[in-house]
Chain A
């Protein structure tokens, strides 16, 4: 029966090629606009670390106080003093501090000019907390952190550029005039959005080149090239005074496995702030936050407004296309009232008429979906028009998007056909036959 319906459907589609083409185009354009914008939205709003996103938290401490903080909210990073105090307190299972650095390095051949390389200064827990996958070697230990060792982990891409992809663990690399020992090479790892640097960076971009041992970077007075924010009059002069200033630039992350650990850590932050108040460092009551990964990304507005607006407009466009399709299907089905009357008189039940027209609509949906796939593929190349290259490169066709395009097109068209098909099934056979 089903194949018979499909045959009937195809034959009917061929009967009004203009009307059919119009419906197919409406579905195709509507679904492809939605899919193109959705592919970007999916990339920028996704969970970058699904298996651990509810165990990783950002401890925020209001070190600026009322009047200078961000409308009552604590600032999004820590100053050096608070960051080091949290590190020393060891109140969480794991903790890391992160800041962004830019160094230069000389490639191996002597004639070449220096190249820029970007990375992060991190502590040893960074690699275990964020499940960084390793190609060679591993991260470093907390003991290495304490020993302030000159350790570095390279990314696969940087290792490829510098060592031709060979196992470079144990070798030396010179970055901006200082030697470091390579202890590990990561596999390709570039969580998107880059949640751990969402305050400092745009959240997207090429993977970092290296991860440097934080204490070593600090010992060498390696400048932070990421975001830095200070309040009040700037009074520091030189590196040491800068570390004691109210400037925030160190990004803290802690790993807490259970809700009781989270509650305990929150208490710790409160009591730390209360201690600072008692000591006279803070002239205000404790004001702390402890957001997890997804809350943090939300607070940091990591999804560009263009992505939301274009998705909303594209979906509204799709809805208009569907309203259009309902109207056209209605016209198409009711034009065949006579034929329906004959079929009903010959014994077809309402149910069968209903099924037949839904199948016909599904055929329109499938064709529209295929056109939509083509348009989506073309439109993908236009994503760069709207978004930064770092974001545009995230949008791509994959199997799930292809599947989604077809499924959405078919389901939406069938849903649009519910009312027209119902009207078709309501046709009174006697009335139609009489007027014939």
Chain B
């Protein structure tokens, strides 16, 4: 192929050549990283919470006045009975928080009571014996809590559970080589015996800073008696909307001294997930939109500059045609010229993409860019370049040989 004459010509268009190459390089750097961010964020979105998410309803209930622990205990018990009797409700329990809620309590968990030696963080869920069934959690080993094991704890009371249930991820982390069931771990000064291991159960948080232990969850057999209570309700299949409509009025009818926010007091688990992943979804959309516009503008820029070159070189093209070059020769000339510029651009762009990723890793705890994204980005930009140059190149190939004889 006629690469040498192309290179010679490009020397006369240094500025334009440089600008196209630079634009391709910068676009590649951004698009690679944007695609990577999109993939990461979508990966977040599709991570299972571990909970059987359909037919799950959450009620955030704040107690009005200033009831003491005993009063909260009796109101909570009566609420649970009320909710259980509500038509369409399959199961219910009261807790402090649930997966993806964004709020909750973290404890250190480890093999010694002082916690100064090696410990890990774990999300704490205060639950009763109905939690596993309500959330649809799968018990992998051991057993569930028994009703008589469920204790009570007020806001500032001691938390020293005799039995706990932990997730498989945490069990495997604490006891890599053996079954965790029956083993003792320390959440407090006293040992707690692991009586059961459940499959997956996410912590309340989706932040990347907590991603390392986002499946380290611990269930404690306590009724949490404080200023607010979360009710987790499983409805009969298909009854979710119906129960969601009636649950608030039912609770207020049973006892008016409470606050259930009209805005977000009653939510389905789908609402909870949508809110938790709001910024992940938004980031993916933003990156997608910017990448698309960026590629369009880069493509359009190539069309514009190549059209200008074609216009400038009509006479030369005419001469070449008059000297026997075919339409195909002219077409492939412009395609090759663009490919050369494109290759130079993507080489620089690939380096820039990796550099940008390193900087983002340093600044924002991003992961390392997989090479596949750079390869995909290179392919996208080279194809885009060829596509963009096609129309002006075709126009160039249509220049008649007689053009050589015209003076302008």
Contacts and interface: CB of A to CB of B under 8 A. Distances in A.
Nearest to A68: B116
Contacts, number: 170
A386 B186 CA distance: 40
A295 interface: no
B84 interface: no
Interface string B278-292: 110111011100100
A309 B364 contact: yes
Given A304-B279, A386-B283, A388-B278, A237 B156 contact: yes
7 contacts: A67-B116, A231-B115, A236-B156, A309-B364, A319-B26, A320-B26, A387-B282
Contacts of A188: none
Contacts of A335: 308, 311-312
A114 B258 CA distance: 6
B19 A327 contact: yes
A242 interface: yes
A103 to B, nearest CB: 8
A238 B282 CA distance: 44
A150 to B, nearest CB: 14
Given A313-B34, A385-B281, A308 B364 contact: yes
Contacts of B367: none
A178 B65 CA distance: 8
Contacts of A395: none
Contacts of B287: 313
Contact of B66 (A177, A234, A310, A319): A177
Interface of B: 15-16, 19-20, 22-23, 26-27, 29-30, 33-34, 37, 62-66, 113-116, 155-159, 186, 188-189, 208, 226-228, 252, 256-259, 261, 278-279, 281-283, 285-287, 290, 293-294, 297-298, 300-301, 304-305, 307-308, 311-312, 360, 363-365, 408
A67 B116 CA distance: 6
Interface stretch (A18-26, A55-63, A158-166, A348-356): A18-26
A33 B290 CA distance: 8
B96 to A, nearest CB: 13
A22 B290 contact: no
Given A237-B158, A326-B19, A313 B279 contact: no
A232 interface: yes
A241 interface: yes
B158 A324 contact: no
A236 B307 CA distance: 78
A19 B114 CA distance: 71
A12 B52 CA distance: 64
Contacts of B27: 320
Main secondary structure of the interface of A (DSSP, over half): helix
B281 A320 contact: no
Interface of A: 18-19, 22, 25-26, 29, 33, 67-68, 102, 104, 106, 113-116, 176-178, 220, 223, 225, 231-239, 241-242, 304-306, 308-310, 313-314, 316-317, 319-321, 323-324, 326-328, 330-332, 334-335, 385-388, 419, 423, 435-436
B23 to A, nearest CB: 5
A304 B66 CA distance: 36
Main secondary structure of the interface of B (DSSP, over half): helix
Given A33-B293, A388-B279, 4 more contacts: A113-B258, A233-B114, A326-B19, A386-B279
A216 to B, nearest CB: 14
Contacts of B29: 316
A318 to B, nearest CB: 10
B26 A423 contact: no
A209 to B, nearest CB: 13
A334 B308 contact: yes
B300 to A, nearest CB: 5
Contacts of B157: 237-238
- List the 9 closest pairs (A to B, CB-CB), nearest first: A386-B282, A331-B308, A114-B64, A385-B282, A104-B64, A324-B301, A327-B19, A242-B156, A233-B189
A330 B156 contact: no
B227 A323 contact: no
A14 to B, nearest CB: 17
A421 B227 CA distance: 70
B260 to A, nearest CB: 9
A385 B298 contact: no
A48 to B, nearest CB: 22
A122 B218 CA distance: 35
A234 B158 contact: yes
Contacts of A419: 15
Contact of A320 (B30, B227, B259, B285): B30
A313 B26 CA distance: 11
